[in-house]
Chains A and B, each alone.
Chain A
Amino acid sequence: MNDVDRLFREYHVPLVRYLTRRLGDRDWADEVAQETFLRAMRQESIVSERAWLFAVATNLVRDEARKDARRRHRLELLREQARADEAVEPEPLAIERAQEAALARKALDMLVERDREALLMREEGLDYTEIASALELSVGSVGTTLARARRRLVEAYESLQHGGSGVRGTHAAS
């Protein structure tokens, strides 16, 4: 399917960004994106391309997350450790940013899966129809989903910022 070239050109960057934001891991995101495009190649025709790609990627993440969340987590920790060891006196600014990123990550993780995905898709520019299609929601409920996601994200971020670890809510399944 020649179209894959075009699909790749158009959607690889946003898809990887979406996945990286979703997973917090660029390598993993790359893998999932690759698998997504492989599947696209095998597909006869795709109607709503962007929605399709994001839906497939999202499902891959869900499947994989279910399968080996714990192994992943362990690898993550190891990798984190390795990186910390490598790090040579990072600039204060870098630390500050990393802290903000970590806070944002925590806050995002506190959302329920669907809210998080809808929000991240929206941030990649998907319209309501595409989000609805990718997440199997009704179009009419996308606004509500996004409103809730945004509010909770902001609230979670703020409470993390002020409350440190004493945050309400639980770590949503990822």
Chain B
Amino acid sequence: MTALRLVLGASGVVVIGYGSVVLLLTVDVLAAVPWVIGPVIVHDLLIAPLTLGAVWVGARYLPSYARTPALFGLVVSGSLTFVALSVIGRRGASADNPSLLNRDYVAGWLVALAVTWGAVLVVALLRRAAARRQPEVRGAAAR
């Protein structure tokens, strides 16, 4: 395993080196660096704390049967929103090209979230009903 780790690690360093050289030679590095650091900062200071906050609220206030469906809802709607941010303002659209970004993305995003949380609600209610039918097994969970 040590040999494998050494080979893998060394090839990783070489490949990073190649990418870095290409970056320095062909790219305006000063313009690119904010796009390497920026998303990390946005994640660490905004996305992650918001997610942790949502998970904490869910753990604190949601009944047990609703937690797993809500976790699905959180992950799915968070992922959809991340992707939606690139198209929702149609910032890349151009008047001469109606074939590009030719949807109502706000409506599409809202519908996707509505479908997601509608499914979360349905599954949570089904879980509650199932827990009530089998109180000896799931009673504690349906509390």
Co-assembled chains A and B: no
Residues of B within 8 A of A (CB): none
Q: Which residues of A contact B (CB under 8 A)?
A: none
